[in-house]
Chains A and B, each alone.
Chain A
Amino acid sequence: MVSLTATRRVTRQPEARRVAPSVGRPGVVWALPGLIFFAVFAVLPMAGVAYLSLTDWNGLSSPQFVGLENWARFTTDPQILQSIWLTAVLLVGNVAVQMPISILLGVWAAGHQRNRAVLSAIFFLPLLLSTAATAIMWRQLLDPNFGVPAQLAAVFGGDGNFVGTPRGAMIALVIVTSWQFVPFHSLLFQGAARAIPHTLYQAAMIDGAGRVRQFFSITLPQLRNTIVTSGTFMVVGGLTAFDVVLVLTNGGPGTDTTILPFRMYREAFQTYNYGYGSAIALLLLIVATAVSLLLVRLSGYDKMQSTQEGV
């Protein structure tokens, strides 16, 4: 009896697998709720913004249609070029700092060292805090007279004037953003590193590969998909970074950290220039789309294959 049921179970499995396709692949109807949601909350507002970008509107009287006037302003507004440049700098800075740190931290956290769990928990703490809170905290820390720069004058240079200089402000933004988001990316890499089959490392060890060689020849290639995913998150996050700028530098000194999203906020919600603000928003959309297309193309994400073929 026992053996009979056992064999029956075994034979049932292929049947079940065969039944599944007949239920039908998800049709268009399945995507409807998602599509409706996307249309109402993404496409519709975007169309609204596209319309507003062709108008002059201060939020009080009805919008005046002005054609491409707001778009023409891009050619005469020297700050827009600067904003695009600053957005790019912040983006590259963020990826360049966050990527190596998160990979190392994530791979380390995937191991089985002593105290690993405790230390990982501490590393992941910043992830639980809101950006506004972290930015306010960092601002206190970076105060030139009463914060860390005043205490560690040797490191920060003479007078602790850190967030008040163009370069210092940008570095501060990268540091604070990284401090907050490295834990998130580490978490991604930790999961990915854990999924790498041990047999690869065992084989490498037999071949006499050291830890460094193993990292570069096995771990990194195996993390390729995660690197692209994580990189996309970083790029999207970098392009839409706003809260940290608002709290930490407010776009200054002068306009030296006025990145595109902040400029958009300033135009639309501080000076009630909704037309031009909308045009900047669309510009940001175009830039972001271009960058992500580029990313997909360069990384081969569109024809991505498994990293574990043959394992």
Chain B
Amino acid sequence: MRNNSRLMRRVGAVVGGLSLVLSVAACGGGASGAADTQASGNLNYWTQQDPTDPVLQGAVDSFNETSDAKVTLQAFASNGYKDKVRAAMSSSDMPGMFFNWGGGSLNDYVEAGKLVDLGEAVQSNPELESSFLPSVLDIGKVDGKLVGIPMRGTQPVFIFYNKKVMADAGVEPPTTYAELEASVKTLSDQGITPFAVAGNADSGWTELMWVSYLVDRIGGPEVFNKIASGDASGWQDPAVLQAAQDIKELVDAGAFGTNFQSVSYGSGGTSTLLSSGKAAMQLMGSWEYGTQVADSPDFAANDLGWVPFPAYEGGKGDPANVVGNPSNFVSVTTSADKAAAFEFLETTYSDSYVQGLVDAGEVPVTTNAEAALASAPNPDYAQFQYDLVANAPSFTQSWDQALGLDIGTPMITEIQKLFNGQSTPEQFVSAVSALP
């Protein structure tokens, strides 16, 4: 939970400059629809404060101009946003539509019958389904029911590297796991930390990325899908144990350095390790680019490289599979004016909204996004992400998000113990299997 709002803020910091320009154009409308929250349901749209809000506000304004129903956009500080939604959903004060993280973060709401099944909207308007990349739209489904529509850019996880350090050390970015292991040896022999990883207890989600990718590459996305479906026996899959053993080997081989348990993510932490050349690579979400642009612009412009997570020899998972945050989603609650809300959802794939997101530095997950990417702040980087996601047979959502917090939080603690050497791979497997 914490990490995701942090990610969003991180993304926010990055694209701020560009969206300022937009906000001048878009911020006129304001709360014009407040009076229209009539008996038939409300159209209050709750979102988190970040630099793409002006884009959304623009979409709301143009919708309100042409429609009888009026949508009201309310943006809340990202710290505490989830708690606010949570508290409101159990009261009569719930929003009509709200920004969320999809997947397991919606489990409780679906169970409590708070969300509208959007399959109904798709029936009358198939475009609502066909306009999005399927691997991402899947994350908007809970128990097979579509309850969230992607409304933001995608944030896949891949490897960032310091071109200069790698070149000096004579190491190519790894394309296979064997190459990755070889590069760990070469780099650590030269006194360079091969991979920066943030092992402080507040940054355990960076270690989760390693586990997620290794399990996916070794056993395929089915392994985690089984776990995410609520079947705890999924943890007993040999791929999980294999991944845990690989992690232990990487740690023992010094792949993450010796003091990663004290390191946090971000500037002053792993990002600075990468830009300062103390570390050669970092497995991180796409927002890392923005962090580097903000903190070390020279490094970002000249020496920052990126490659997908390598293939795993003999693994069942397709090397094109991706792990990360597929997108953010908008869900409609039972208190909403359904017809008007469905109509509003069409803006999420409109050309102007998609273009607005791209200009703000996001990589939208709509089928029409590719054409807009040329105007992105860094078109190469945007295209790389788009291709990565569009060509991915499967996009696994960050495990902590997909599982929901009651399992996700203790799971990350167990992953930390594995990295810290406080539990063995076998102990790790039995500990996560025992999670409620």
- From A58, A139, A161, A255, B259 is in contact (CB under 8 Å) with A161
Contact yes or no, A254 B416, CB < 8 A: yes
Task: Report the bound CA distance from A60 to B108 in whole Å.
Answer: 8
For the complex, is A59 an interface residue (Cβ under 8 Å from B)?
yes
Task: Report the bound CA distance from A237 to B114 in whole Å.
Answer: 41
Digit string of A231-252 for contact with B (CB within 8 Å is 1, else 0)? Answer: 0000000000000000001111
For the complex, is A224 an interface residue (Cβ under 8 Å from B)?
no
Task: Report the bound CA distance from A249 to B199 in whole Å.
Answer: 11
Interface residue stretch chosen among A101-109, A211-219, A269-277: A269-277
Contact yes or no, A163 B406, CB < 8 A: no
Asked if A161 meets B258 with Cβ closer than 8 Å, knowing A269-B83, A271-B409, A272-B86, the reply is yes
A95 to chain B, nearest CB (A): 25
Asked if A159 meets B259 with Cβ closer than 8 Å, knowing A60-B89, A140-B268, the reply is yes
Residues of B within 8 A of A253 (CB): 199-201, 261, 416-417, 420, 422
Contact yes or no, A143 B269, CB < 8 A: yes
Contact yes or no, A146 B268, CB < 8 A: yes
Task: Report the bound CA distance from A254 to B328 in whole Å.
Answer: 29
Digit string of B1-18 for contact with A (CB within 8 Å is 1, else 0)? Answer: 100000000000000000
Residues of A within 8 A of B86 (CB): 59-60, 272
Contact yes or no, B417 A254, CB < 8 A: yes
Asked if A143 meets B109 with Cβ closer than 8 Å, knowing A59-B86, A59-B87, the reply is no
For the complex, is A164 an interface residue (Cβ under 8 Å from B)?
yes
For the complex, is B413 an interface residue (Cβ under 8 Å from A)?
yes
Contact yes or no, A143 B87, CB < 8 A: no
Contact yes or no, B258 A159, CB < 8 A: yes
Residues of A within 8 A of B409 (CB): 266, 270-271
Residues of A within 8 A of B268 (CB): 140, 143, 146
Task: Report the bound CA distance from A256 to B111 in whole Å.
Answer: 34
For the complex, is A11 an interface residue (Cβ under 8 Å from B)?
no
For the complex, is B202 an interface residue (Cβ under 8 Å from A)?
yes
Digit string of B178-213 for contact with A (CB within 8 Å is 1, else 0)? Answer: 000000000000000000000111101000000000
B91 to chain A, nearest CB (A): 10
Contact yes or no, A146 B272, CB < 8 A: yes
Residues of B within 8 A of A58 (CB): 108
Interface residues on A, range: 35 or more
Find residues 105-162 in chain B having any chain A CB closer than 8 Å to their own CB. Answer: 108-109, 111-112, 114
Find residues 358-412 in chain B having any chain A CB closer than 8 Å to their own CB. Answer: 405-406, 409-410
Contact yes or no, B258 A158, CB < 8 A: yes
For the complex, is B255 an interface residue (Cβ under 8 Å from A)?
no
Number of residues from B at the complex interface, CB < 8 A = 39
Q: Secondary structure at chain B's binding surface: helix, strand, loop or mixed? A: helix
A165 to chain B, nearest CB (A): 7
B433 to chain A, nearest CB (A): 15
For the complex, is B287 an interface residue (Cβ under 8 Å from A)?
no
Contact yes or no, A250 B263, CB < 8 A: no
Contact yes or no, A252 B259, CB < 8 A: no
Task: Report the bound CA distance from A162 to B199 in whole Å.
Answer: 12
Contact yes or no, B261 A161, CB < 8 A: yes
Residues of A within 8 A of B278 (CB): 145
Task: Report the bound CA distance from A160 to B200 in whole Å.
Answer: 13
For the complex, is B40 an interface residue (Cβ under 8 Å from A)?
no
Contact yes or no, A164 B89, CB < 8 A: no
Task: Report the bound CA distance from A254 to B410 in whole Å.
Answer: 10
Asked if A164 meets B199 with Cβ closer than 8 Å, knowing A252-B416, A253-B261, A254-B413, the reply is yes
Residues of A within 8 A of B272 (CB): 145-146
A70 to chain B, nearest CB (A): 13
Residues of A within 8 A of B89 (CB): 60
Find residues 249-292 in chain A having any chain B CB closer than 8 Å to their own CB. Answer: 249-257, 266, 269-273
For the complex, is B332 an interface residue (Cβ under 8 Å from A)?
no
The closest CB in chain A to the CB of B420 belongs to A253
Residues of A within 8 A of B263 (CB): 143-145, 164
Residues of B within 8 A of A139 (CB): 264
Task: Report the bound CA distance from A251 to B416 in whole Å.
Answer: 11
The closest CB in chain B to the CB of A163 belongs to B262
Contact yes or no, A270 B417, CB < 8 A: no
Task: Report the bound CA distance from A88 to B199 in whole Å.
Answer: 26
Residues of A within 8 A of B83 (CB): 269
Residues of B within 8 A of A271 (CB): 405-406, 409-410
Contact yes or no, A144 B108, CB < 8 A: no
Contact yes or no, B259 A60, CB < 8 A: no
B255 to chain A, nearest CB (A): 15
For the complex, is B90 an interface residue (Cβ under 8 Å from A)?
yes
B262 to chain A, nearest CB (A): 4
Contact yes or no, B406 A162, CB < 8 A: no
For the complex, is A308 an interface residue (Cβ under 8 Å from B)?
no
Residues of B within 8 A of A164 (CB): 199-200, 259-263, 420
B329 to chain A, nearest CB (A): 18
The closest CB in chain A to the CB of B86 belongs to A59
- From A149, A250, A256, B202 is in contact (CB under 8 Å) with A250
- From B87, B259, B405, B417, A160 is in contact (CB under 8 Å) with B259
Residues of B within 8 A of A140 (CB): 268
Residues of B within 8 A of A269 (CB): 83
Find residues 70-114 in chain B having any chain A CB closer than 8 Å to their own CB. Answer: 83, 86-87, 89-90, 108-109, 111-112, 114
The 3 closest A-B CB pairs, nearest first, are A252-B201, A164-B261, A161-B259
Interface residues of B (CB under 8 A from A): 1, 83, 86-87, 89-90, 108-109, 111-112, 114, 199-202, 204, 257-264, 268-269, 272-273, 278, 405-406, 409-410, 413, 416-417, 420, 422-423
Listed A/B pairs (5) with beta-carbon separation below 8 Å: A60-B89, A60-B112, A164-B259, A249-B201, A253-B201
- Having A139-B264, A142-B262, A253-B416, one finds 9 other A-B pairs with CB under 8 Å, namely A59-B90, A144-B262, A145-B273, A160-B259, A164-B259, A254-B420, A255-B417, A270-B405, A272-B86
Interface residues of A (CB under 8 A from B): 58-61, 139-140, 142-146, 149, 158-165, 168, 249-257, 266, 269-273
